[in-house]
Amino acid sequence: MEVTVVEGDITRQDVDAVVNAANRRMRGGGGVDGAIHAAGGPAVLDDCVRRFPHGLATGDAGWTTAGDLPARWVIHVVGPNRHAGETDRALLTSCYSRALAVADELGARSVAFPLVSAGVYGWPKDDAIAAAVDTLRTTPTQVTEARLVAFGSSTYDEILAVVKSG
């Protein structure tokens, strides 16, 4: 699998599936979650409510329609919230490996990922990048492109440096 990096808006990625850094309730929120729900329209929330009436556990993943997004599916993952005491790195890496497993179930070959937990959930950015790149590179999958979408040029530069170094 090829790990690529782009700077931009995850909601505009022309891929089979986009990964949403969701909260446990799966009802929309801020950051990536809010952007995906806004751009995807009400179909994304309706599918979340129908498919995940009780939400998802931290580290888990599940899919819904992508609604009005260019992608076909949204793969929702719930990253660990360090501010709430969730400091187990395995929960973070599980988001990436579970997202790839869901992508395989769907037959998705190109998947766009945000940096899970690196925003309001407070995971240190350097470790969030390392966890993402390492897990994407080592998880067996049928996905052919895992695209890390950086929000901002400094984050893009940081992710690209890690991708190139490995």
Confidence of residue 166 (pLDDT cuts 50, 70, 90): confident
Confidence of residue 96 (pLDDT cuts 50, 70, 90): very high
Q: List pLDDT tens digits, range 119-139.
A: 999 999 999 999 999 999 999
Q: Give the model's pLDDT for residue 148.
A: 98
CA gap 99, 111 in Å, rounded: 9
Contact 97, 135 (CB under 8 A): yes
Q: Give the model's pLDDT for residue 46.
A: 98
Contact 75, 47 (CB under 8 A): no
Q: Give the model's pLDDT for residue 20.
A: 98
What pTM was estimated for this model as a whole?
0.98
> What is the full DSSP assignment across 119-133?
STT---HHHHHHHHH
Overall size of the chain counted in residues: 166
Residue 33 known to be catalytic? yes
Q: List pLDDT tens digits, range 12-71.
A: 999 999 999 999 999 999 999 999 999 999 999 999 999 999 999 999 999 999 999 999
Q: Give the model's pLDDT for residue 156.
A: 98
* Span 2-165 CATH architecture: 3-Layer(aba) Sandwich (3.40)
How far from chain centre, in Å, is Cα 97? 10
Q: Give the model's pLDDT for residue 37.
A: 97
3-state secondary structure 28-93: CCCHHHHHHHHHHCHHHHHHHHHHCCCCCCCCCEEEEECCCCCCCEEEEEECCCHHHCCCCHHHHH
Domain edges within the chain: 2-165
Could you say which of 16, 33, 47, 60 is catalytic? 33
Going by the DSSP 8-state scheme, the letter that residue 17 receives in this structure is E
